[in-house]
């Protein structure tokens, strides 16, 4: 298993636990994600994934254990965490009745960029996506693939240390899907850590490393090829089902 | 089921562009394509919920427009969006759908048993409080409770986890074995292998129609899987190769398609490995690859979705 060296970790989690009454949703999980790594965080419904992500994004306090995201503590520095992360969920990231440019400006503001910086980033982003002609188009009228690319660009407009993506390529055609993964790899090569959650194990195959949560704990962690080799199967889907099915 | 030259427009958008397809009895047939390809529109026409602008469609030998009242009791439909009553319990939902079709849950017991047995212990739980996988099983029970001859499922596996997804396909295989005709739509290409035949759908047209095992063999280019090395640099180097047709990330690998048709893939793989090594990418290796459904789909697609007009 490849472990990133400590000084490069963008996310560092040690024995992180969260209980709700007598139910332990997340049970002493430990892992590290390197700067610029594309990390897949997988798990069945109810495995504790959402609870773990809420703690990592500063939305929920842990019961015990430690975690640092972008160097900030999840107990005491949640405000700083929120300023240093980006988030894109599969379909609800953009405002449909705002234009491309308005969405960019709105998110630039939400993420606390100066007006000057927003103007610069807005131009860069519109040019980079080839959307100059469409900058005053309502997002509602754009094809899904374009919305997803724009949503991703907006989620990293403030150059966050970590961007959280939820089923980023669900439902798009296979060419758009690959263009999207190339955008993700480009962001990662700029040093942005990409934290992907998904139900589609196909998407997991594109990650540098994946972890699989079962019943509140991390049941496996490694590169996709390591995990496939370890379980003697051909796909991450098979690895996943083998680990998660007894729990279902 | 026979569809002939069906056209459906919504304003300026052509959802179905003269689509024709036949599905055999007791077949498990998949319409596979991205969101917006026209899958839902086609299923709505086949389930008599939409009227085509042109062309015609027959289900069980009956016309979907003229014979809608005769067709409806014989088909089951599980729409893509959650179709249950969230405030009713599991058993109340089931009883309601049975009563709409003038039957009872007891009369359908044998049909739904394999599925219902998996959610029965939650019979008095409100549908809203079920997990994604359980909701999906309840919706399937509700679509089967009147013993339909054809079952239409619109993106049944969207939003459910990989285990529930696999269990769901296993249930469909069981239902098919009992003689039911099943038509399913999905954006997930890896689900194609679960179907007897699939149609690849894009922008209201069928790009390809064949058994899933045959589709890969329709790929028209020598295909090489490249592993190792810095992904972005390898991609850039492959795209600079003089004979490149396309190069795209494919999970951990990169699929390189060569523009020279009918050539020796093993020789091309060696050529690619050498080309990458020359450019300092010594860790990257090319090996002949089998084309999958995504390779075929990408090759048959027209140019990627056009940029939206201003």
Q: Tens of pLDDT along A187-231? A: 999 999 999 998 889 899 999 999 999 999 999 999 999 999 999
Domain containing B251 equals: 220-290
Give me the pLDDT at residue B237, please.
Answer: 97
Mean of pLDDT values over A50-68:
96
CATH number at residue B86: 3.40.50.300
pLDDT > 70 in chain A, percent: 94
Closest to B163 (Cβ–Cβ): which among A143, A144, A245?
A245
CATH number reported for the structural domain that contains residue B268 in this entry: 3.30.70.100
Q: Which whole-number Å values give the CA distances from B124 to A7, A30, B112, B119, B155, in the listed order?
A: 52, 38, 17, 10, 27
Residue A168 — pLDDT band, cuts 50, 70, 90?
confident
How far is Cα A210 from Cα A33, in angstroms, rounded to an integer?
10
Does residue A248 register a pLDDT over 70?
Answer: no
Based on the fold, state whether residues B229 and B83 are members of the same structural domain.
no
Q: Residue A5 has what pLDDT?
A: 43
φ, ψ of residue A192 to 5 degrees: the values are -80, 130
Q: pLDDT (tens digit, 9 = 90+) per residue, A65-92? A: 999 999 999 999 999 999 999 999 866 6
Domain membership flag for residue B208: yes
Total domains in chain B come to 2
Any domain includes B298? no
pLDDT above 60 (res A59): yes
Block means of pLDDT (10 residues each) for chain B, length 310 residues?
A: 96 94 97 93 96 97 96 93 89 95 92 91 94 89 95 91 90 94 94 95 95 92 94 95 96 94 89 97 96 93 52
- pTM of the entire structure? 0.89
Task: Choose one of B162, B196, B216: the last residue of a domain.
Answer: B216
Tell me how far apart the alpha carbons of residues B291 and B21 are, in angstroms, rounded to a whole number.
Answer: 24
* Whole-number Å distance between alpha carbons of A134 and A156: 20
Domain boundary among B160, B192, B216: B216
Same domain assignment for residues B258 and B130? no
Closest Cβ opposite residue A45 in set B161, B188, B202: B161
Are B33 and B192 in contact by the 8 Å Cβ rule? The answer is no
Domain assignment present for residue B304? The answer is no
Q: Do B158 and A245 touch (CB under 8 A)?
A: no
Judge if B19 and B155 occupy the same domain: yes
Structural domain includes residue B107: yes
Question: Under an 8 A CB cutoff, do A206 and B251 touch?
Answer: yes
> Does residue B248 sit in the same domain as residue B203?
no
CA proximity to A202, closest of B6, B93, B157: B157
Nearest-by-CA chain B residue for A204: B251
B296 assigned to some structural domain: no
Of A174, A235, A244, which is closest to B297 when you measure between CB atoms? A174
Clarify whether residues B203 and B285 are in a common domain.
Answer: no
- The alpha-carbon gap from A86 to the nearest alpha carbon of chain B, in Å, equals 22
Asked whether the beta carbons of residue A173 and residue B160 sit closer than 8 angstroms, the reply is: no
Mean pLDDT of chain A: 91
What is the band of A7 on the pLDDT scale with cuts at 50, 70, 90? low
Residues B110 and B26 in one domain: yes
Q: Contact A45/B160, CB-based, under 8 Å? A: yes
Across the interface, whether the CB atoms of B305 and A200 are under 8 A apart is answered: no
Of all residues in chain A, the one with the smallest CA distance to B190 is: A202
Same domain, B204 and B265: no
Domain membership of residue B257 (yes or no) is: yes
Residue-by-residue DSSP string for B271-296: HHHHHHHHTT-TT-EEEE----HHHH
Same domain? For B17 and B107 the reply is yes
Chain A nearest-CA residue for B294: A174
Q: If you count residue pairs, one on A and one on B, with CB atoms under 8 Å apart, how many are there?
A: 124
How confident is the model at residue B69, as a pLDDT? Answer: 94
Question: How far is Cα A42 from Cα B158, in angstroms, rounded to an integer?
Answer: 16
Tokens of B182: 């099943």
Contacts of B294 in chain A (CB under 8 A): 174
The winner for highest mean pLDDT among A56-65, A109-118, A143-152 is: A56-65
Find the closest chain B residue to A245 by CA distance.
Answer: B163
- Inspect the interface and report whether the beta carbons of A45 and B133 lie closer than 8 Å: yes
**For the residues A22-26, what does the mean pLDDT come to?**
96
If asked whether residues B141 and B227 sit together in one domain, one would say no
**B107 plus B178 within the same structural domain:** yes
Place A150 in a pLDDT band, splitting at 50, 70 and 90. very high
Last residue of a domain, one of B216, B231, B247: B216
Mean pLDDT value of segment A24-45: 95
Position B302 scores a pLDDT of 64
Which of A178, A233, A236 should be substituted to probe chain B, the one whose Cβ sees the most B Cβ atoms within 10 Å? Answer: A178
Same domain, B109 and B181: yes
Report whether B142 contacts B174 (CB < 8 A). Answer: no
One domain, residues B208 and B286: no
Residue of A nearest to B39 (CA): A171
Question: Which positions in chain B touch A200 (Cβ < 8 Å)?
Answer: 162, 188
Report the complex ipTM: 0.85
Nearest-neighbour CA in chain B from A85: distance (Å) = 24
């Amino acid at each position: 298993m490849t472990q990133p060296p400590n000084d490069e970790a963008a996310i560092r989690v040690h024995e992180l636990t969260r209980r709700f009454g007598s139910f332990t949703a997340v049970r002493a999980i430990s892992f590290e994600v390197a700067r610029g790594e594309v990390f897949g965080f997988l798990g069945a419904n109810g495995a504790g994934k959402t609870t773990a992500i809420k703690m990592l994004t500063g939305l929920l306090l842990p019961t015990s254990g430690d975690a640092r995201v972008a160097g900030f503590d999840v107990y005491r520095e949640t405000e700083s965490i929120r300023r240093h992360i980006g988030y894109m969920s599969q379909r609800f990231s953009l405002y449909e009745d705002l234009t491309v440019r308005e969405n960019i400006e709105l998110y630039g503001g939400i993420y606390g960029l100066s007006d000057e910086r927003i103007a610069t980033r807005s131009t860069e982003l519109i040019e980079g996506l080839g959307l100059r002609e469409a900058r005053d188009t309502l997002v509602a009228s754009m094809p899904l693939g374009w919305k997803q690319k724009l949503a991703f660009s907006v989620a990293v407009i403030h150059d966050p240390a970590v961007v959280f993506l939820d089923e980023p390529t669900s439902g798009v055609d296979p060419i758009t899907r690959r263009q999207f993964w190339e955008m993700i790899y480009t962001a990662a090569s700029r040093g942005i850590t990409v934290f992907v959650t998904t139900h589609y194990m196909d998407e997991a195959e594109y990650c540098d490393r994946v972890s699989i949560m079962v019943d509140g704990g991390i049941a496996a962690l490694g590169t996709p090829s390591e995990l496939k080799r370890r379980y003697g199967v051909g796909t991450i889907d098979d690895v996943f089902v083998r680990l998660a099915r007894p729990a279902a | 089921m026979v569809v002939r030259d069906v056209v459906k427009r919504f304003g300026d958008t052509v959802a179905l562009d003269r689509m024709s397809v036949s599905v055999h009895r007791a077949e498990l047939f998949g319409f596979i394509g991205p969101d917006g390809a026209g899958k839902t529109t086609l299923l709505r026409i086949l389930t008599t919920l939409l009227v085509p602008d042109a062309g015609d469609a027959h289900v069980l030998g009956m016309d979907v427009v003229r014979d809608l009242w005769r067709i409806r009791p014989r088909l089951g439909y599980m729409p893509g969006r959650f179709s249950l009553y969230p405030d009713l319990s599991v058993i109340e939902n089931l009883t309601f759908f049975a009563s709409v079709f003038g039957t009872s849950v007891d009369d359908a017991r044998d049909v739904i048993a394999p599925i219902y047995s998996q959610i029965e212990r939650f019979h008095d739980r409100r549908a809203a409080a079920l997990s994604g996988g359980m909701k999906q099983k309840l919706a399937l029970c509700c679509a089967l409770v009147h013993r339909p001859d054809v079952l239409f499922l619109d993106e049944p596996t969207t939003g459910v986890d990989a285990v529930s997804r696999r269990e769901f396909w296993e249930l469909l295989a069981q239902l098919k074995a009992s003689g039911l005709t099943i038509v399913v739509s999905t954006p997930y290409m890896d689900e194609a292998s679960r179907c007897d035949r699939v149609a690849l759908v894009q922008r209201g047209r069928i790009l390809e129609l064949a058994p899933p095992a045959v589709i890969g063999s329709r790929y028209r280019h020598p295909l090489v899987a490249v592993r190792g090395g810095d992904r972005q640099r390898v991609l850039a180097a492959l795209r600079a190769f003089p004979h490149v047709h396309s190069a795209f990330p494919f999970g951990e690998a990169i699929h390189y398609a060569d523009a020279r048709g009918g050539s020796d893939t093993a020789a091309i793989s060696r050529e690619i490995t050498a080309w990458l090594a020359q450019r300092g990418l010594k860790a990257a290796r090319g090996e002949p690859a089998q084309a999958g459904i995504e390779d075929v789909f990408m090759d048959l697609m027209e140019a990627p979705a056009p940029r939206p007009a201003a």
